[in-house]
């Protein structure tokens, strides 16, 4: 059970909202960044905002309460990593939940665009916006890759059907998120979307990328890139062995280990993964062959070079 404290401001926020959309912002020891993000989100926006404070020690919660009294604050007793978003979803009772990190924020008009896609397509669990990085608004490589998705757009969404999402730039159907169990707390941060995406696919849900919806990203300088790379390797290995049949799990593990060898995190990442072996054995739940076939197709696609950055001008929605 997640131990948390929920603090409610007055009812000014959301007083004109239709109740479909809520925003959840996850933060940990990035007081200045989250205040900047809230400034962007609250400008011209009456959608209710919930900040999940992952046990910050820098006064984040007090600063948010003082500057944005209408924002709900959920304070966690310990740092839950990506799984802190689970507490945000429980606190946010709206039909759809738009996620931000403390260094990302949605264009206000894009929130309605994403919600409209979920309205039109009941089988969609989650949609991901186009992420523009930095002051020069460069397209994030993950957005470029989603735009080149190999999966057919059988739903006819105004974008692409994909298998996956970006945790800090997506909007979820709340019922789908809760039914799938949200984020696994043991993963902390790094590839945390992978396991949830596989479980959504196995449950029959669909996912989409919406290039006409925009999220801005100003990467925080408060980060440990080396530790993040170790977690990416560990979590990738865990996800492979939690859900993939033996041949696919082995192939994915070899690919992940090659990546770890290139960036110098192979030994630390593999040792960290091995420490979770008893849990993996207990929690392993292999997907059906048809689901694994889709994942194998994604494996091949992910092994290809990342598309180059594109122009920051938002494309016209299309049905490929």
* Alpha-carbon span 254 to 244, nearest angstrom: 14
Token couple for 12:
């000014």
Give the model confidence (pLDDT) of 105-128 as tens digits: 999 899 999 999 999 999 999 999
* Alpha-carbon span 7 to 116, nearest angstrom: 30
pLDDT at residue number 306: 64
pLDDT at residue number 108: 87
* Alpha-carbon span 137 to 143, nearest angstrom: 12
- The domain 4-217: what is its CATH number? 3.90.550.10
Give the model confidence (pLDDT) of 181-213 as tens digits: 999 999 998 899 999 999 999 999 999 999 999
Within 13 Å of residue 208, how many CA atoms lie on the same side as its CB?
A: 33
Q: What residue has token string 């404290």?
A: 5
pLDDT at residue number 10: 34
Helix (H) and strand (E) counts for the chain? 12, 11
What element of type H or E holds 185? none
pLDDT at residue number 3: 37
Question: What are the φ/ψ torsions at residue 57 (nearest 5 degrees)?
Answer: -115, 10
Q: Which of 38, 48, 63, 53 is nearest to 10 (CA)?
A: 48
Using DSSP bridges, classify how beta strands 206-217 and 124-133 pair: parallel, antiparallel or unpaired: parallel
Token couple for 102:
């403390």
What are the residue boundaries of the structural domains of the chain, listed by start? Answer: 4-217, 225-287
pLDDT at residue number 268: 95
Within 13 Å of residue 164, how many CA atoms lie on the same side as its CB?
A: 19
Residue 235 burial (CB count, 10 A): 27
Coil, strand or helix at 78: coil
Long-range contacts of the stretch 263-268 (C-beta < 8 A, 24+): 263/229, 265/226, 265/229, 265/230, 265/233, 266/233, 268/230
- The residues of the chain scoring below 70 in pLDDT are 1-17, 44, 222-224, 306-320
């Amino acid at each position: 059970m997640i131990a948390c404290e929920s603090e409610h401001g007055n009812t000014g926020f959301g007083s004109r909202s239709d109740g479909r959309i809520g925003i959840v912002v996850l933060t940990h020891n990035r007081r200045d960044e989250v205040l900047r993000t809230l400034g962007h989100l609250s400008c011209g926006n009456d959608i209710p905002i919930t900040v999940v404070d992952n046990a910050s020690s820098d006064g984040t919660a007090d600063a948010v309460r003082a500057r944005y009294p209408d924002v709900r604050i959920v304070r966690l007793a310990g740092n839950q990593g990506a799984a802190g978003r689970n507490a945000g979803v429980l606190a946010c009772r709206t039909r759809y939940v738009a996620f931000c990190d403390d260094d990302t924020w949605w264009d206000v008009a894009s929130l309605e665009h994403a919600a409209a896609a979920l309205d039109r397509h009941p089988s969609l669990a989650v949609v991901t916006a186009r992420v523009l990085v930095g002051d020069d608004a460069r397209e994030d490589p993950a957005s470029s890759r989603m735009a080149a998705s190999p999966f057919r757009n059988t739903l006819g969404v105004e974008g692409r059907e994909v298998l996956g999402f970006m945790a800090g730039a997506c909007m979820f159907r709340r019922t789908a998120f809760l039914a799938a169990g949200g984020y696994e707390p043991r993963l902390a941060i790094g590839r945390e979307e992978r396991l949830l995406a596989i479980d959504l696919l196995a449950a029959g849900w669909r996912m989409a990328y919406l290039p006409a919806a925009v999220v801005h990203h100003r990467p925080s300088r408060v980060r440990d890139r080396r530790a993040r790379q170790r977690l990416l390797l560990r979590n990738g290995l865990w996800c492979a062995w939690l859900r993939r049949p033996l041949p696919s799990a082995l192939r994915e593990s070899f690919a992940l280990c090659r990546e770890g060898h290139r960036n110098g995190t192979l030994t630390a990442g593999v040792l960290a993964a091995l420490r979770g072996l008893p849990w993996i054995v207990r929690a392993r739940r292999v997907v059906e062959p048809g689901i694994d076939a889709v994942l194998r197709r994604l494996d091949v696609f992910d092994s290809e070079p990342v598309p180059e950055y594109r122009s920051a001008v938002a494309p016209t929605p299309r049905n490929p």
